[in-house]
A and B are shown apart, each in its own frame.
Chain A
Amino acid sequence: MSSHRKYPSHSRQVRSAPDSSMPPPTLSQFEHVSRYWDNEHQCFAARLLPGEYYVTTAQEMIATVLGSCVSACIRDTRIGVGGMNHFMLPLDASQGTSAWGEAASAATRYGNVAMERLINDILKLGGRRENLEIKLAGGGRVLAAMSTDVGARNIDFVRQYVRDEGFKVTGEDLGDIFPRKVVYFPDTGKIRVKRFSAATDRSLEDRERKYLSELDSKPIGGDVELF
């Protein structure tokens, strides 16, 4: 993927957010997502943690750091509204895969909802399926000590999903052994992916292991209510 910059940072002069300047209004469902002023790109940004997603109608950046997790960056090209998710699939060990096969395994059902939440929010803001542009990143082999290549599983899922849904992927930086920092501008569709060296970030690996064990400790299934 190209390394575009929407907001060029002017030489070495580091500016902070203007005092009067506030982040653009956020949609109510994303108030928990942390936002900050990004000096490098001179704009406000939302910082996504594993399991979160964020959609915006404003000119702002979404940033995240991926190890074996994947992010889909999705926007409606006509209205310039879009967002990003950040997820990985649960391991199926404790979820009884065999009863349902791959088609409706806990992993597939979880991944599906991670994609659908993001897509639905874009559609609710006026987006249309046929105008969606998708870029994919992540899935590095970062959790090296694990017997399963968690990153590869996440990549297989997300590729299968976009194929099944008939979406067009216009850019991807997937796999290999690197963690990545991804920044995305939904209003223009620009994306920057910076790979960093495999062993630099212990905390990233710890965070992903924690997320994975949380996923595996609870059943994948929402509430049922009969009226």
Chain B
Amino acid sequence: MARMIMTVDDSTSMRQMVKATLQSAGYGVVEAADGQEALDYARENAVDLVITDVNMPHMDGITLVSELRALPTYRLTPLLLLTTESSMEKKMEGKKAGATGWIVKPFNPTQLLATLARVL
């Protein structure tokens, strides 16, 4: 069965781009528009990897990462942040929350897929 990846971003067009890239490599994709929506989905369903934006309404991506890490089923799931933020402080916050990695937008599709292959 295809690996299932959740893309979390409040921007529809960003989700579309990530989805197109992942689908081209044969991944299954589920979308969420903010951290809260993603967390609600994750509580009921398993996914193999999460790619999340940082700045979002309702729940930001760093909070989402800590919330997911607190769920027994997501303790080891790769959680990647994909964001326009590139400051060291933000990255450290992400790392402390339990993120697997940090990708700065605009993402390079080849590089994104290579990163996924490494952490999955």
Nearest-neighbor residue (CB-CB) of B85 within chain A: A120
**With the chains together, A120 CA to B86 CA distance in Å?**
13
Within the complex, the shortest CB–CB distance from B41 to chain A, in Å, comes to 21
Secondary structure at the A interface, as helix, strand, loop or mixed, is: helix
Given known A-B contacts A112-B17, A129-B10, A104 and B84 have beta carbons under 8 A apart = no
Could you tell me how many residues of chain B have their Cβ less than 8 Å away from some Cβ of chain A?
Answer: 35
Q: Decide if A227 touches B102 in the complex (CB within 8 Å).
A: yes
> Which residues of B sit under 8 angstroms from A100, Cβ to Cβ?
20-21, 24, 109
Q: Decide if A164 touches B108 in the complex (CB within 8 Å).
A: no
**With the chains together, A128 CA to B58 CA distance in Å?**
11
Question: Which residue of the partner chain, among B13, B84, B104, B111, contacts A165 with CB atoms under 8 Å?
Answer: B13
Q: Does A113 contact B (CB under 8 A)?
A: yes
Q: Decide if B55 touches A124 in the complex (CB within 8 Å).
A: yes
Given known A-B contacts A100-B24, A129-B57, A109 and B11 have beta carbons under 8 A apart = no
Could you tell me how many residues of chain A have their Cβ less than 8 Å away from some Cβ of chain B?
Answer: 33
B11, B104, B106, B111 — most chain A CB neighbours (10 Å): B106
How many A-B pairs have beta carbons closer than 8 Å: the answer is: 96
Within the complex, the shortest CB–CB distance from A30 to chain B, in Å, comes to 15
Q: Decide if A223 touches B57 in the complex (CB within 8 Å).
A: no
Question: Which residue of the partner chain, among B11, B13, B106, contacts A220 with CB atoms under 8 Å?
Answer: B106
Q: Write out, one digit per residue, whether chain A residues 4-16 have a CB within 8 A of any chain B CB (1) or not (0).
A: 0000000000000
Q: Decide if A113 touches B17 in the complex (CB within 8 Å).
A: no
**With the chains together, A60 CA to B94 CA distance in Å?**
35
**With the chains together, A45 CA to B109 CA distance in Å?**
38
> Which residues of A sit under 8 angstroms from B84, Cβ to Cβ?
113, 116-117, 120
> Which residues of A sit under 8 angstroms from B104, Cβ to Cβ?
222-224
Q: Decide if A164 touches B13 in the complex (CB within 8 Å).
A: yes
Q: Does B100 contact A (CB under 8 A)?
A: yes
Q: Which residues of A contact B (CB under 8 A)?
A: 99-101, 103-104, 106, 108-110, 112-113, 116-117, 119-120, 123-124, 128-129, 160-161, 164-166, 219-227
14 contacts between A and B (CB under 8 A): A99-B109, A100-B24, A106-B106, A112-B106, A113-B106, A124-B55, A128-B57, A166-B12, A219-B108, A221-B106, A222-B106, A224-B115, A225-B103, A226-B119
